[in-house]
Homo-oligomer: A and B are copies of this chain.
Amino acid sequence: MTAFKPSKILGTAALASLLIALPALGQDAEIVEEAVTETLSEGVSADVVFILNSFIMILGGILVMWMAAGFSMLEAGLVRKKNVSMQLVKNVGLFSLAAIAYYLIGYNLMYPLGNWTIGSDETGGYVGAFGIAILEAVGITADGADDFGYAATSSDFFFQVMFCATTASIVSGTLAERIKLVPFMIFVFVLTAFIYPIQASWKWGGGFLDAMGFLDFAGSTVVHSVGGWAALAGAILLGARAGKFNPDGTVNPMPGSNMALATLGTFILWMGWFGFNGASQLAMGSVGDVADVGRIMANTNAGAAGGALAAMILTTMIYKKTDLTFVLNGALAGLVAVTAEPLTPGLGTAAIIGAVGGVIVVVTVPLLDKLKIDDVVGAIPVHLFAGIWGTIAVIFTNPDANLGAQLLSIVVVGVFVFVASFIVWAILKATMGLRPSEDDEALGLDKAEIGVEAYPEF
């Protein structure tokens, strides 16, 4: 995400000519006239900048909220019929819980605004500040704004809370069909209240990774890989679905129950990603910012297209069939890959970055199977592996990036999130248990825990 640049408020040239012209007042009215008109016709007032910056984040928040519906449909489509209602409850529940956890704890852990609980601005912080999120009062004027040079706090909170929820959505898919609702929800609370915000503050809160020069525009690492690491830790401790892997090493395919829903979910995510990446410009109050938002949109689309096509071609070549699930995950991997840097690439480069993401999915899904890690929807290849790729790929198009900072940040975030998640999952496993009984798993979680079948008449 890019910081707001106050120098853009008024066209420098116009302002300069105004300053020159005004002392001449009375001598040459025409110069004044010209200067005033030029300034009027070129500048963007600070109020308008504030309004447009706030607005693009509000719009972004709406679109990223919509991604929760996308994950929900994608996952409902990729699980078996008997676990669909559970997956839907989990998705509505995690999104709701993330909203509360981020309000109560996460937001200030992530954006400590100088008040780091551990560390400091000088030394680089490690844990943000504790305190609930408080929005600006109703009907503020410029003087009452928390950060008039940026945007309304409400718009910032609304946008960021959605990113936090996205992380939890990623976890949900991997662990489908064999986790109990209550431990899952408890993990979501810890993830969205603590794990996600703390590591996000290292980059977006101005912490030590940011100070080191780590670049991650909209969160290939900060959001997507975090969801992936948390999911991976859970998948290892949880184990595979009953019957997924045979003792002889072969895999029993457990095809998703509704490909139309899965495709709808992918399109929803694709659409929502325009908010995810585009609004991460965090500014739309200047010519350059709106043109950049447009670039990001076009590049995001190109990345998704590249990922989908690459997966489509590769899967057709390997399997002689054009596996729809790979095409969908290819598009998503393309989106994840282009998320770390959707601004600086050209359209062709963005498509290629996305295409590599698509290839990664096709290659690594069988790899996870070999490791007997059961990732029901393919979230680890899509969000973790393509997220790592995208984070590295920043160095190809952004001259400010350096490979060292990118790699170190990938490792630091990865170790922190994986270890923290593993500990939480392990505690939950040891105390209340993560898995339903074998009977409940065989029966389906909809009957066992939800009491509402998704398709009772079918």
Checking B25, B40, B68, B133 against A25 with a beta-carbon cut-off of 8 angstroms, the contacting residue is: B25
Complex interface: chain B residues within 8 A of A50 (CB): 287, 290
Checking B72, B288, B450 against A321 with a beta-carbon cut-off of 8 angstroms, the contacting residue is: B450
Answer yes or no: A154 CB below 8 A from chain B CBs.
yes
Assembly CA distance A413 to B210 (angstroms): 55
Complex interface: chain B residues within 8 A of A290 (CB): 50-51, 54-55, 58, 152, 155
Q: Is the CB of B96 within 8 A of A285?
A: no
Taking the nearest CB of chain B, how far is it from the CB of A149, in angstroms? 11
Answer yes or no: A176 CB below 8 A from chain B CBs.
no
Complex interface: chain B residues within 8 A of A55 (CB): 52, 284, 290, 293
Answer yes or no: A190 CB below 8 A from chain B CBs.
no
Q: In residues 262-307 of chain A, which contact B (Cβ within 8 Å)? A: 263-264, 266-268, 270-271, 274, 278, 284-295, 297-298, 301-302, 304-306
Identify the closest chain B residue to A257 (Cβ).
B457
| Given known contacts A11-B142, A274-B62, A456-B257, A99 and B305 CB-to-CB distance under 8 angstroms | yes
Answer yes or no: A322 CB below 8 A from chain B CBs.
yes
Complex interface: chain B residues within 8 A of A161 (CB): 298, 301
| Given known contacts A43-B41, A181-B322, A305-B96, A141 and B91 CB-to-CB distance under 8 angstroms | no
- Bits for A331-371, please: 1 = Cβ < 8 Å to B, else 0: 10000000000011011100100000000000000000000
The stretch of A15-23, A193-201, A374-382 that contacts the partner chain: A15-23
Taking the nearest CB of chain B, how far is it from the CB of A446, in angstroms? 8
| Given known contacts A41-B45, A268-B69, A324 and B452 CB-to-CB distance under 8 angstroms | yes
Complex interface: chain B residues within 8 A of A145 (CB): 287, 291
Q: How large is the interface on A (under 10, 10 to 19, 20 to 34, 35 or more residues)?
A: 35 or more
Assembly CA distance A285 to B155 (angstroms): 15
Identify the closest chain B residue to A271 (Cβ).
B66
Answer yes or no: A136 CB below 8 A from chain B CBs.
yes
Checking B42, B140, B306 against A45 with a beta-carbon cut-off of 8 angstroms, the contacting residue is: B42
Q: In residues 193-229 of chain A, which contact B (Cβ within 8 Å)? A: none
Taking the nearest CB of chain B, how far is it from the CB of A104, in angstroms? 8
Interface centre among A44, A278, A291 (most CB of B within 10 A): A291
Q: Is the CB of A294 within 8 A of B155?
A: yes
Q: Is the CB of A348 within 8 A of B54?
A: no
Complex interface: chain B residues within 8 A of A428 (CB): none
